[in-house]
Amino acid sequence: MSINIKGVSSKSGQTSTGKVSGGHRSSNSNATNTASKKPVDDSVDLTEAASKIQFIEQSLSNVPIIDDTRVQSVGNSIKDGSYQVDNEKVADRILTAEKQLSNTSVKEKP
């Protein structure tokens, strides 16, 4: 996949076309040489993995962060007293999170 970027120029990447001979520049003026040149089109080639990541990011940007229907459903269940908490499931998830945190934390030197 190629993305063309037009109208972008890098002044630090341009080089002088004047030649040096005997310590003097040639009679050609750099200003007229660079003014008559057309800008070069720059392009960026993305790897297939980068293209997939870009597609996923675009797809996820359309997905809402909060599921309003689910929030409303849980809120109604809490209000009417029908919401049930599975204590074992909560405990298992806390233990799993704790194990993951302990595996990723930086260990102090003795």
Domain boundaries of the chain, sorted by first residue: 18-103
Contact 51, 1 (CB under 8 A): yes
Written as one letter, the residue type at 110 is P
Mean pLDDT of the chain: 75
Contact 40, 4 (CB under 8 A): no
Predicted confidence (pLDDT) per residue in 36-83, tens digit: 666 677 877 778 888 899 899 998 888 888 999 999 999 999 999 999
Please tell me the predicted confidence (pLDDT) of residue 7. 53
Q: What is the reported pTM?
A: 0.35
